[in-house]
Structure 1
Amino acid sequence: MKRILSTTRGRVAAAAAAITAVLLLAYGMPALALAGEVPPGTDAGGVDISGLSPEAARARLEEEFGRPGPLKVEAAGRTVTMKPKDLGVTLDAGATVARAMDGHTTPAGIARSLFGTRTVPPAVEVDDDLLDRRIAALARKVDRRPREGAIAYRGLEPQVTLPTAGRVLDRKEAARAIREAFLARRDEVTLPVRTTPPSVPAAKVREIAASTARAAVAGPLTLTAGDERASLSRDQLASRLRFVPDGHGGMRPAFDASTLVDDLRDDLVAEERRPRDAAFRIANGRPQVVPSRAGRDIDPDGLAKAVTSALASGERVVEVPVVQAQPDLTTAKAKRLGVREKVGSYTTQHPCCAPRVTNIHRIADIVDGHLVMPGQTFSLNGLVGRRDRARGFVEAPMIMNGRFVNDVGGGVSQFATTMFNAVFFGGFEDVQHTPHQYYISRYPAGRESTVSFPQPDFRWRNDSRYGVLIKTSYTDTSITVDFWSTKRWDIESESSGRYNVKGFRKMKDSGPDCLPMEGVQGFAIDVWRIFKKGGKVVRKQRFHTVYQPEPRLTCTART
């Protein structure tokens, strides 16, 4: 019995040994065969790397993922073409191969290699900072804020500007799409763009225009300041009123009061209560400061808020905020301006009593006492505006299109010429002056300027660190412009002889508006402004002027 058991055990052990040997052989031979190679049936991002050595597998991956070349990135019609590495996206071929070979010699790996396939996701390195910067640069070209709707007025009629949607690049999804395009080895990718709606829909804008905006200008507003009253007409209201989004899906009135205060001040704030700027007067041949005064004035921002609040609530009476106000030019500031001596002066002559003299005197009165601050550019048209009968200007001859014609304000070029010479000898910067087309004998040749409205203008800049006080005076036969400031230069003038002289032609005209012209030769001339300090020449400035021949025009009576 014992022998039988012993024999049986021997046979079992022999069989187990045989099975083990078979298994070891079945595992060992494939393991030995697969050692050092990428397993069969291995795919990495669509690239077959089966049976390759690690080095060959890396080379194939780098070749395949580099084959598509630059990536065309498009968003909302904007396109950039860049290499993936310049977008911060690169393939780690070594890590990808390592993934493919991980566990391939285990029994499970051997079985999968012998009887199945394996797909390995490529190992991608992403420089998030670089990719974010590239996407942000594209977003700056793509993103567009919604254009909000608005309501303004043409006359008294509300005019609607309809809103339009905006757009924004979805940056997070854009980064994902670029990575996916790289993995799929595509050569182009379209990035997602979201639409951003305006805060107020178009239908709502139209509704407010037809109701609230129309009601806002249905009648005038009554403005009060204590016991004082004024009226804001429908036209005044409409020209300064808009409706804009209120941030809560509706629209609110927005009123611009910045240009309205000057119109209302006389009605709502007594003159003796208003601030008064410091000024200058000439006494005993020297400038003296007339002290400033604090006072009460309309607050533009407060007025705008009061009007918009009234319109929003449907009120037609507005309490205007009047606040304590300081003058723009205080006594202390005026004293620091250095207005202490005459630095430039010029006088021109004219015959007495012609209509043009009225215009010369009128423009002189407007300019008299004007203060030009350091660095400021003075514009004659900007200060005086259009010459009209309402302010005392009359018709007088002027040059227009090469002929003398009568026009309101004619003759004021003599004032411009006089001021130009005060600028010249005061040493200030000439910004814009336009010589007359024809030479006029009462002016110094090459040192004169015409002016009309709106152009040509006469402009000069106070390029000093001192204020310049302009004082004007006149007689029946002369006009004088004086500049008071702090003297910087001694100015001299030199002129060339007249050259390129041209004769004039003779003409006749029987028209009812004909004004005769005496005929003057044309010529060119150069004038130098010489800047001196301490008797030494510092610099010279050349003014080149060309005058056209003035025809001799004879006006003949119609037959």
Structure 2
Amino acid sequence: MLVFLAALLVLTVGSLGGFYTYDFLRTDVIEGVYLENLSLGKLKRDAVIQRLQEYLEPRLQEPINFEADGVVGTLTAAELGYGFDYAKMADQALRAGRTGNWFLQRAARRRILKEGLFIRPQVTVDREKFQRALEPLREKTQVEPVSAQWEVLPDRRQVKLIPAQPGQTIDYDRLALLVTELLKQAPPYSVSLPFREIKPRLDTEEAVNLGITEVVASYRTYFSPSNTSRVKNIRLAAESIDNKILLPGEVLSFNRLTGPRLPESGYEEAPVIINGELVPGVGGGVCQVSTTLYNAAVLANLTILERNKHSLPSAYVGLGRDATVYYDYLDLKIHNETVRPVLIKAIVGRDYIEVLILGKWVYDWRVQIEVEDLETIPPVWTERYDPSLEPGQRVIEKEAMPGRKVRVWKKYVGPGGVVSREILSVDTYQPINGVVRVGSMPKN
């Protein structure tokens, strides 16, 4: 009896061992493994990959309709940078029923054979190509945010807060997941574009908390609208400082806000003052913006850290009230040493630029600017002999202009008169010497 049982055990183990060895030496997919309704059973790895490619590759060429209040664009998955990881799917199919010990594998294979094992498409995407392909749709559907703004009312004293409006743009992360899930099923394909909110630079709550309720100071200068290049330069520079918020303790640099005044930034050639001469230069007119800002800032009781005068008087502002700038060399710097935030608004009209400082005036006095004339500096005339002229004839070749020296005062004026005053600057404008051609030799 014992001999019989021993023999039976040997036969059983031998047969099981043979089956075990055979199963583990197999290199094809076991029966019952599918991708969707596509059978992968009894296929070796290369054959699995080929069958998957034949089945899934057409999906990459199917049009995908992108919708946002109607169809806004159509692209294929291939154009979007999508593909399938065929090797990963083949390996997944080959591993089916081949993990764990022998008994677990046998149980898994019986279950797979009876119920089936369905693997899912493994989708890949090139994110850079994905976003590049969607750029036209982004441009078509994106809504830019609008920050909270203050509108200056016609009385030029009161302001009205206009609430902010959030923007929207395509949510690439969510959209990539949606398209990935689409490709795991059969066409046709359509997807609603998901959007994410773009927050404005200044939202309504932040604007309210700034406490800006009125125009605390303003200054206006005028220009000729006929010089279109100069007007364009003024507009560009004004846009750079418009809606700039200056918090308590912050310093404004005009050069930092406007950047280099270069043709590639849109600036054009217009007259500028260089070394006492009015000559053509790129960015001519920008100094009128800095000058207007300077005067408004002084009237708003902001502190001037840096200001430079022109070498010649300016036609658009009085002596001592100009502020020239030259990128990376001469700057206008304004420090908000008050206890409240201020906002700068720059408005360019047909023939004027106006800078308004918005905030909340908390003093019982106002600022005034007074210019004291200290000295007139006579010019020097140079005579040049011109044989083409008649004796005694004189022709002015270059007009002369006297120089001036002025002292500029900042006065604090209350209901009862001047409370105090301080010197803003003492400025000297050198004379422009003249040249006259004469019809006889000049006397020694």
> Which TM class, normalised by the smaller chain length?
0.5 to 0.7
Give the partner amino acid of 1:547.
Answer: Y
Aligned to 1:384: 258
SS at match of 2:334: strand
CA-to-aligned-CA distance 1:242-278 (integer Å, 9 cap, x gap): xxxxxxxxxxxxxxxxxxxxxxx99979884666543
- Conserved? CA contact 1:223–1:229, under 8 Å: no
The 1:329–1:517 alpha-carbon spacing in structure 2 relative to 1, beyond 3 Å, is: farther
SS of the residue corresponding to residue 456 of structure 1 reads: coil
Match of 2:221?
Answer: 348
Q: Secondary structure at the match of 1:336?
A: helix
Tell me the distance in 2 between the aligned counterparts of 1:352 and 1:390: 23
Preserved CA contact (<8 Å) 1:352 1:476: yes
Q: Which amino acid aligns with 1:544?
A: V
Q: Give the 3 Å change call, closer, same or farther, for CA 283–376 of structure 1 in structure 2.
A: same
State the partner residue of 2:8: none
Rounded Cα–Cα distance in structure 2 between residues aligned with 1:356 and 1:325: 36
What's the offset of the Cα at 1:225? 7.3
Choose the corresponding residue for 1:362, options 230, 236, 240: 236
| Number of the residue aligned with 2:211 | 338
Name 1:486's counterpart in structure 2. 360
Q: CA–CA distance in 2 between the matches of 1:443 and 1:273? A: 42
**Structure 2 length-normalised TM:** 0.52
| Structure 1 residue 476 displacement after superposition | 3.9
Please point out which of 531, 535, 538 is paired with 2:412: 531
* Aligned counterparts, 1:271-350, within 5 A: 272=142, 277-283=147-153, 286-291=159-164, 293=166, 327-350=200-223
Q: Give the drift of 1:382.
A: 0.9
Task: Measure, in 2, the Cα distance between the counterparts of 1:530 and 1:406.
Answer: 37
Q: Distance in 1 between matches of 2:297 and 2:309?
A: 15
Q: What is the correspondence of 1:545-556 to structure 2 with a 5 Å cutoff?
A: 545-552=427-434
Structure 2 gap ranges (5+): 1-124, 173-194, 385-396, 438-444
Query: Please, which of 422, 430, 439 is the counterpart of residue 541 of structure 1?
Result: 422
Specify whether residues 225 and 454 from structure 1 end up closer, same or farther in structure 2 by C-alpha distance, changes over 3 A only: same
Q: Which has the larger radius of gyration?
A: 1
Cα shift at 1:445: 1.2
Q: What secondary structure sits across from 1:332 in the alignment?
A: helix
Partner amino acid, structure 2, of 1:486: K
Partner letter of residue 492 of structure 1? Q
Who is 1:503 aligned against?
Answer: 379
1:535, distance to aligned residue in structure 2 (A): 4.1
Superposed CA deviations along residues 54-81 of structure 1, whole A, max 9, x for unmatched, are: xxxxxxxxxxxxxxxxxxxxxxxxxxxx
SS of 1:491's partner is strand
Q: Within 1, Cα distance between the matches of 2:378 and 2:269?
A: 32
Deviations 1:134-187 (A, max 9, x none): xxxxxxxxxxxxxxxxxxxxxxxxxxxxxxxxxxxxxxxxxxxxxxxxxxxxxx
Separation in structure 2 between the aligned mates of residue 460 and residue 546 of structure 1, nearest angstrom? 22
Q: What is aligned with 1:16?
A: none
Counterpart of 2:246 in structure 1 is 372
1:188-231, Cα deviation, whole Å (9 max, x unpaired): xxxxxxxxxxxxxxxxxxxxxxxxxxxxxxxxxx9837952289
State the partner residue of 1:397.
271
Cα distance in 1 for partners of 2:404, 2:254 equals: 28
CA drift of 1:351 comes to 3.2
C-alpha displacement at 1:524, in angstroms?
Answer: 1.7
CA contact (8 A) 1:517 1:550 kept: no
- Write the distance in 1 (CA, Å) between the matches of 2:341 and 2:231: 29
Q: Give the AA of the match of 2:407.
A: D
Tell me how far 1:293 sits from its aligned partner: 3.0
- Distance in 1, matches of 2:129 and 2:196, equals 12
When residues 276 and 503 of structure 1 are mapped into structure 2, their CA distance, relative to the original with a 3 A threshold, is: same
**Residue number in structure 2 paired with 1:439:** 313
Distance 1:442 1:517 in 2: 22
Q: Is this contact kept in 2: 1:224–1:230, CA < 8 A?
A: no
Distance 1:427 1:506, change over 3 A: farther
Partner of 1:260: none
Identity of aligned residues (%): 26
Kindly indicate whether residue 290 of structure 2 is the aligned counterpart of residue 416 of structure 1.
yes
Shift of 1:414: 1.4
Between the aligned partners of 1:410 and 1:554, the Cα distance in structure 2 is 29
Query: In structure 1, what residue type is equivalent to 2:367?
Result: I
Pair 1:224-2:127 in alignment:
yes
Per the TM alignment, residue 289 of structure 1 is displaced from its structure 2 partner at its CA by: 3.3
Shift of 1:447: 1.3
TM-aligned CA distance change 1:267 to 1:493, over 3 Å = farther
Distance 1:506 1:287, change over 3 A: farther
How many angstroms apart in 2 are the aligned matches of 1:503 and 1:332?
59
Displacement of 1:448: 1.2
Give the alignment's Cα RMSD to 1 decimal.
Answer: 3.8
Q: 1:296 to 1:351 in 2, by over 3 A?
A: closer
> What is the CA deviation profile of residues 419-476 of structure 1, one whole-angstrom value per residue up to 9, with x for unaligned ones?
1111121111111110111223432111111112122111212222333222223344
Counterparts of 1:142-221 in structure 2 under 5 Å?
A: none
